[in-house]
């Protein structure tokens, strides 16, 4: 690297180091809360488990093939002498298949039930996302609020300190009494108590921010006021149509109704086709086919 390039790199590093840190916006906090939430990971796993239940219910409508291999070794003594021994080794292998032909639609209804459960679980995940993001917004605004309160309390203590010094100076020249000085000292003690309370509230807000976002707060930016484009009635109607709790409850009702139909279909006759093929070590094959 030449001397000019080295000097340029040093200048850039100095500019970056001297520039103030960028204030953290609410969007940054929401992004980190979404990525760091263990509750969202848990509900995503529940959704994947519900998807697997759909695959298992579909597998019940497909042929089920199983196989079995067995080897048996036997050693027996034909005479009292230990040298008179006979060994016997036998082996068999078999393959069996089962195909559901008719069950009154119970298996198909079971698949539909699991699909409704998946949709209900998906809406539950959306609801959890809303809760996580709302908690992040609440934690962000609480840190902002407690930070402003702490600044006000510090300013108040500074002002009362100046008033106390002025009261002591006036007491020295005889303009006020000792009672006035004591009142100023009491006001200072009360202000310091409120300052300590504000410091504790900010520490608590920081810990709630860490729990909600997944990291400690930095320098938080001011949040612009929200602009609502709908009136209250339109918002209420939209929530009734699109809220995940409402949609999830609807899918839950559909799953319950399908379970009733599934229970009724289970009373119908069930017909299955069974077949098996076996082979032993002697080359003898066996096969079986039947309906149950």
Domains and CATH numbers, the chain: 28-73+88-221+244-291 (1.20.1600.10)
Angle at CA of residue 232, ends 29 and 128, nearest 5°: 35
Is the confidence at residue 14, as pLDDT, over 70? no
Q: Which residues contact 289 (CB under 8 A, 6 or more apart)?
A: 273, 274, 275
Is the confidence at residue 73, as pLDDT, over 80? no
What percentage of the chain exceeds 90 in pLDDT? 49
**Residue predicted with more confidence, 126 or 17:** 126
pLDDT band at 80 (very low <50, low <70, confident <90, very high): low
pLDDT in tens, 191-218: 999 999 999 999 999 999 999 999 999 8
Kindly state the tokens that stand for 147. 């930070």
**Residue predicted with more confidence, 264 or 190:** 190
Interatomic CA distance for residues 112 and 107, integer angstroms: 9
- In this prediction, residues 69-80 reach a mean pLDDT of 67
**Residue 104 Ramachandran class (φ > 0 left, ψ -120 to 50 alpha, else beta):** left
Q: Please tell me the predicted confidence (pLDDT) of residue 9.
A: 47
pLDDT band at 77 (very low <50, low <70, confident <90, very high): low
Is the confidence at residue 265, as pLDDT, over 60? yes
Reduced to 3 states (helix: H, G, I; strand: E, B; else coil), residue 286 is strand
- In this prediction, residues 176-201 reach a mean pLDDT of 94
pLDDT band at 68 (very low <50, low <70, confident <90, very high): confident
Q: Please tell me the predicted confidence (pLDDT) of residue 4.
A: 45
- In this prediction, residues 215-236 reach a mean pLDDT of 84
Q: Please tell me the predicted confidence (pLDDT) of residue 174.
A: 87
Q: Which of 148, 156, 159 is nearest to 202 (CA)?
A: 148
Task: Check: pTM over 0.75? Answer yes or no.
Answer: no
Q: Please tell me the predicted confidence (pLDDT) of residue 30.
A: 93
- In this prediction, residues 214-241 reach a mean pLDDT of 85
* Of 85-99, 150-164, 244-258, minimum mean pLDDT range: 85-99
**Residue 32 Ramachandran class (φ > 0 left, ψ -120 to 50 alpha, else beta):** alpha
Is the confidence at residue 76, as pLDDT, over 70? no
Q: Please tell me the predicted confidence (pLDDT) of residue 120.
A: 94
State the CB neighbour count (10 A cutoff) for residue 123.
20
- In this prediction, residues 237-246 reach a mean pLDDT of 89
* Of 61-70, 82-91, 125-134, minimum mean pLDDT range: 82-91
* Of 80-94, 207-221, 267-281, minimum mean pLDDT range: 80-94
**Residue predicted with more confidence, 99 or 165:** 165
How much is the mean pLDDT over the chain?
84
Reduced to 3 states (helix: H, G, I; strand: E, B; else coil), residue 95 is strand
Q: Please tell me the predicted confidence (pLDDT) of residue 239.
A: 86
**Residue predicted with more confidence, 202 or 224:** 202
């Amino acid at each position: 690297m030449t001397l000019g390039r080295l000097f340029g790199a040093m200048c850039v590093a100095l500019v970056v180091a001297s520039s103030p840190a960028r204030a953290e916006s609410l969007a940054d906090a929401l992004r980190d809360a979404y990525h760091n939430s263990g509750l969202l990971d848990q509900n995503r796993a529940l959704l994947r488990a519900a998807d697997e239940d759909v695959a298992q219910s579909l597998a019940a409508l497909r042929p089920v093939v199983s196989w079995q291999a067995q080897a048996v070794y036997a050693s027996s003594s034909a005479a009292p002498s230990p040298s008179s021994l006979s060994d016997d080794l036998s082996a068999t292998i078999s393959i069996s298949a089962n195909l559901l032909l008719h069950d009154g639609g119970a298996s198909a209804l079971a698949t539909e039930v699991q699909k409704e459960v998946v949709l209900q679980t998906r809406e539950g995940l959306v609801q959890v996302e809303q809760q996580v993001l709302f908690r992040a917004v609440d934690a962000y605004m609480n840190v902002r609020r407690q930070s402003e309160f702490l600044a006000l309390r510090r300013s108040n203590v500074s002002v009362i300190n100046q008033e106390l010094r002025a009261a002591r100076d006036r007491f020295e020249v005889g303009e006020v009494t000792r009672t006035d000085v004591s009142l100023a000292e009491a006001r200072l003690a009360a202000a310091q108590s409120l300052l300590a309370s504000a410091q504790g509230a900010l520490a608590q807000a920081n810990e709630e921010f860490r729990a909600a976002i997944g990291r400690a707060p930095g320098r938080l930016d001011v949040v612009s006021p929200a602009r609502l484009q709908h009136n209250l009635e339109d918002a209420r109607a939209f929530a009734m149509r699109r809220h995940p709790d409402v949609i999830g409850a609807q899918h839950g009702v559909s799953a319950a109704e399908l379970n009733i139909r599934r229970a009724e279909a289970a009373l119908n006759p069930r017909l299955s086709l069974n077949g098996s093929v076996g082979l032993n070590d002697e080359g003898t094959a066996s096969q079986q086919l039947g309906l149950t």
